[in-house]
Structure 1
Amino acid sequence: MPGDADPAGPRADARRNRERILEAAREVFAAQGIDAPMSAVARRAGVGVSTLYRRFPTRTALATAAFAEQLALWAAACDQALADPDPGHGLYALLEEVCTPQVTDRGFASVFLDQFPDALDHEHERDCAEERLARLLQRARETGQLRDDFDPADIALLLLADSGLAGQPRETAVAASRRRRPPGRP
C-alpha cells in the first residue's frame, strides 16, 4: 500500500521480521547445527516458512546473514593477530578467537568452515583475509615459531578437527579445544 514503504529501506515490520529470523536462525543452528529444518527457524521466529524464504531464498543465504557478525569478527581478529609483534602469540590468539565459538556453536562451526572467507561481503575482503592469514603464518615461520612446512590449508584441517567438538558439553569442548582438561577431571 502507498505510504507503507520507507524510502530509506524496508518497512519497520519487515526489518523486525528479518531480525527475528536471524536471531532464531542463530539459536536453532547453534543447538541443532546448520542442517536444522528451516521450518524450525521460521517457527522459532514466529513467522511463516514463506516469509523466511522470501527474505532468505536459500539455507546458505540465511546462515551467512545469521553469522555475518561472527565472520566479520574473524576478519578483525586476523588484523589484530597480524599487528601483534609476536607472530606466534598472534596466531595462537587468532586460533583461540575462532576455536571457542566454533566448539560452542554448531551453526557457526558449519558456516565458518563452509563459508569463510567466501561469506565476506566483497571479493577484496576475501583476498585480504586470505593474504593476512598467509602473512601471519609466514611471519611465524620466519621467527621459528611455526614449522617451515606448515601451510595455510593446515588451518582448515585444524578447524575441521576442532569443529568435531561442537556436540560435546560446553566445558569439555572448550577445554579440549584449548587442549586443557575440564575442571574436576584428573
Structure 2
Amino acid sequence: MAPTTSTAALRADSARVRERMVAAAREAFVSGDTDLPMNAIAKAAGVGVGTMYRHFPTRQALLESMAAESFEALVTQARVAAAEPDIATGLAGLLRAALQCQLRDPSLAAVLATPTYACEETLELSRELGGASMELLERARVAGVIRPDVTADDMRRLMCGVRHAVVSGDDDGTVADRYLTIMIAGLKP
C-alpha cells in the first residue's frame, strides 16, 4: 500500500528535522564541543530534546550519523584501493584517502577511534571497510610491501595517530603527507 500524502509529508518533515539536528551537532562538534550536549543541539536545531532522543538515542548514535557520509566515502576508497593492480599504490592511496577523510570530517575521526558502534549502519560500514582493508593488507603482505605482523586494527590506530599529529600542530597542514610517508616507511618489512 502506498503511503498517504500526509504520511509522506510527515516522513519528509521528519527527515528535514533529522538533518537540522545533524547539522547543529556538526556545527557544535567542529567548533570544539565534542561532548555533543543533546539539550543544546536540540535547541540549536529548533526541536525539543525528546525529538532529539527519538532520532538519536545516544550521543554515539548522533556522532555516527554525523560521520555516515564520510564513512561511506572511505569505504568506497578502500574498495578502489583493494582493486588497484599495484598494491603499494593502492595501500598509499587508501592511507592518504583515510587521512584526508578524517581531516575533513572530525566526526569520522572520532567514530574510527571508538572500539564499538551504536548503529547497525555504522557496524556494516565498519565490516565493509575491514573486509576491503584486510584484502589490501593481505595482498601487501604477500607482495612484501608491509611487515607480516601488521593488522587492520594496527592501521586504524596508526591512522588515528597520524591525524592527531597533523591537527595538533599549528602548521599549514603540509605535514600530513610527510607524516604519512614516515608511517608507510615504518610499515615496510
**Partner residue of 1:110?**
110
State the shift of 1:156 in Å. 2.0
Residues 39/178 of structure 1: CA separation in 2 closer, same or farther (3 Å cut): farther
Q: In the alignment, does 2:33 pair up with 1:37?
A: no
Structure 1 runs, 4 residues or longer, greater than 6 Å off: 115-118
Equivalent residues in 2 for 1:1-186 (5 A)? 5-6=6-7, 8=8, 10-32=10-32, 34-114=34-114, 121=121, 126-165=126-165, 167-168=167-168, 172=172, 174-179=173-178
Distance 1:27 1:167 in 2: 18
State the 1:36 CA deviation: 3.2
For the Cα contact (< 8 Å) 2:78–2:132, is it kept in 1?
yes
Q: CA deviation at 1:107?
A: 2.4
- Structure 1: give runs of 5+ residues left out of the alignment: 181-186
CA contact under 8 A between 1:34 and 1:110: conserved in structure 2?
no
In 2 relative to 1, CA 144–119 (structure 1 residues): closer, same or farther, beyond 3 Å?
A: farther
Give yes or no for contact 1:77–1:94 (8 Å, CA) kept in 2: yes
Q: Retained in 2: the 8 A contact 1:42–1:48? A: yes
Q: In structure 2, how many angstroms separate the alpha carbons of the residues matched to 1:51 and 1:164? A: 34
Q: Alpha-carbon deviation of 1:137?
A: 0.8
Is the Cα–Cα contact under 8 Å of residues 72 and 120 in structure 1 kept in the other structure? no
Contact 2:79–2:132, Cα closer than 8 Å, also in 1: yes
- The answer for unaligned runs of 5 or more in structure 2 is 180-189
Normalising to structure 2: TM-score of the pair? 0.76
Residue 32 of structure 1 aligns to a residue whose secondary structure is coil
160-169 vs 149-158, which moves further: 160-169
Which stretch of the first structure deviates more once superposed, 119-128 or 13-22? 119-128
Q: Could you report, residue by residue, the CA deviation over 1:46-67 in whole angstroms, capped at 9, with x for unpaired residues? A: 3232321222121111111121
Per-residue Cα deviation, 1:95-154 (whole angstroms, up to 9, x for no partner): 111212323443221112226888562866544432221110111122222122222221
Alignment TM-score, normalising by the size of structure 1: 0.77
Which structure shows the higher helix fraction?
A: 2
Q: Using CA pairs below 8 Å that are at least 6 residues apart, which structure has the higher relative contact order?
A: 1
Counterpart residue type for residue 64 of structure 1: E
